[in-house]
Amino acid sequence: MDEEVFASREGWPDEVRVRRVGNAFVSDVMQLEADAQGRAWVLRRDKDSSLRSHDEGRSFLEVYSQDGRLERTLKPLEGAHLVRFVLHPSGELTLFELRRESNQAFYDLYLRRLSANGETLVERRFEDPGRPGENLSYEFDGSRNGDVMNVEVLTTLGPGWSHTRFLGPLKALALGEDVVFSVRVYGVKLYRLTPSLELAWDTQVMPHHDNLLLIGAEQLALDGEGNLVVAFDMALSEARAYQRHFQRALQAREDGSIDVAVLRFSAHGAFIDIQLHGGAADDLLEAMAIHAGEVVLVARNRLEKFDIPNDTLEFDLVLMRASLREGALLLYRQLDLAREDYPRAVVVDGEGRIYVGGNYDYAQADSNSQVDYGKGLLVRLDWRTGEPLERLSLSGPRDVQLWHLALRPDGRMLFAGIYDAPHSHTADQDASLSFNRGMLGTITLQAR
């Protein structure tokens, strides 16, 4: 049995405690949640090779005690890939698994409901024949800022994925004992299922279009009024497709930048409104939180520069706050913390303190490849101004990245990610160095 617990690491701040998770050649933490007892629930994927396109890996759902000790491991069914989980107030779980038979070319998505003891209560193969008009695909003129050139009726937009990586960023949350999730089917759709995994409703969020694979990770959250909030990147061409498809007014920017679309739906699936927020440069959404009637958006700002050869692109951290009811953008703050700043997660505590996790202080080439090792980042930002108030930097060995954050009931921060990781060209000379280490840790935050 794994008896490792959280411990300090040489060179890291005193308030940080960490442990390794997984022991494969590559161990990635795909999801992190904190339960009411302060335990950490970790979805981990292990691979025996860094050749990610060939090795789809093995997934595990693990539960860690408050001191970091592994309490429980839940393995998916034989041949299944666990891609997401949801914790319900009753202690029950909803699992999302990709499965296929040996003679199948495509994966099917299955939902499985577990008791608090881990027993399967019900499972359901995800099916959606689509509603009238949902099988339209919008083709552009080759640019994310161009016009809609053609609208095609497709018969291949329903569920079914040839590789686990093609599923896209499935997001899910508990609505009491029901489960709500978004997935890239017929563009992007939103679904609500009952505890018995029966469909309560579904609605299309975004139609299918040429640039769907270029969109960053969709985000899904619940606001204080019980409404569902969905957010994703939207360029001018995609805004035009949205307007044409849904016949809804949308004030899209004409300057060619990529902004963030924020959509609200009622708990019954009724569309409420859509907002667009962003600045003059491309703002690529990475994380979202809801607090006090406002949406907090954390994006990666993509800036062009020409002072260093083969380094004409820079990432900065962008913090936005907007009113959910009025749709007004209340704050837009761009932060240049180091050479490159790559935010990946955000949480807001009950007092409105904003914490952003990610990685920073590395260099990249024009190919978007990382050419040296960076540091893990946790930064606290002022709610009103976005000013950095505190910063924790996690250095080495090799590359360190914080991918996920979660707050425990006692106010301590959980984080997960990777350390001792390669950069894009580590394996060019020696493939044996392309491994990484998965990590789970806790940070004792100072009350202020």
Could you report the per-residue pLDDT of 333-366, keeping only the tens digit for each?
Answer: 999 999 999 999 999 999 999 999 999 999 887 6
pLDDT tier for residue 54 given thresholds of 50, 70 and 90: low
Establish if 285 belongs to a structural domain. Answer: no
- Per cent of the chain over pLDDT 70 is 95
Least confident of 18-32, 40-54, 145-159: 40-54
Q: Is the pLDDT of residue 132 over 90?
A: yes
Least confident of 73-87, 168-182, 207-221, 300-314: 300-314
Question: What is the model's pLDDT at position 76?
Answer: 82
Establish if 182 belongs to a structural domain. Answer: yes
Question: What is the model's pLDDT at position 79?
Answer: 84
Q: Is the pLDDT of residue 295 over 80?
A: yes
**Structural domain count of the chain:** 1
Q: Is the pLDDT of residue 53 over 70?
A: no
Question: What is the model's pLDDT at position 379?
Answer: 98
Least confident of 229-243, 357-371, 385-399: 357-371
pLDDT tier for residue 394 given thresholds of 50, 70 and 90: very high
Segment 360-383 shows an average pLDDT of: 89
Alpha-carbon torsion, ordered 356, 357, 358, 359, to 10 deg: 100
Beta-strand ranges (E) seen in 224-350 are 228-234, 259-265, 271-277, 282-291, 294-304, 313-323, 329-335, 341-348
Q: Is the pLDDT of residue 308 over 80?
A: no
Question: What is the model's pLDDT at position 445?
Answer: 84
Establish if 427 belongs to a structural domain. Answer: no
**According to the 3-state scheme, what is the secondary structure of 4-73?**
CCCECCCCCCCCEEEEEECCCCEEEEEEEEECCCCCEEEEEEEECCCCCCCCCCEEEEEEECCCCCEEEE
Distance CA 313, CA 318 (A): 15
Give me the domain span that covers residue 218: 76-265
Establish if 1 belongs to a structural domain. Answer: no
Q: Is the pLDDT of residue 281 over 90?
A: no
pLDDT tier for residue 52 given thresholds of 50, 70 and 90: low
Kindly give, in sequence order, each residue whose CB lies less than 8 Å from that of residue 195, ignoring residues fewer than 6 positions away. Answer: 88, 92, 113, 177, 178
Establish if 67 belongs to a structural domain. Answer: no
Establish if 87 belongs to a structural domain. Answer: yes
Segment 153-165 shows an average pLDDT of: 80
Establish if 215 belongs to a structural domain. Answer: yes
Segment 162-179 shows an average pLDDT of: 89
Tokens of 253: 């920017």
Distance CA 377, CA 394 (A): 6
Nearest to 10 by CA among 404, 405, 396: 396
- Pick 168 or 260 by higher pLDDT: 260
Q: Is the pLDDT of residue 275 over 90?
A: yes
> What b-and-e string marks burial along 114-134, b requiring 16 or more CB atoms within 10 Å of the CB?
beeeeeeeeeeebebebeeeb
Segment 287-292 shows an average pLDDT of: 98
Establish if 31 belongs to a structural domain. Answer: no
Segment 403-430 shows an average pLDDT of: 91
pLDDT tier for residue 41 given thresholds of 50, 70 and 90: very high
Question: What is the model's pLDDT at position 367?
Answer: 62
DSSP assignments along 79-136, one per residue:
T-EEEEEEE-TTS-EEEEEEE--TT-SSBEEEEEEE-TTS-EEEEEE------TTTTE
- Pick 212 or 175 by higher pLDDT: 175
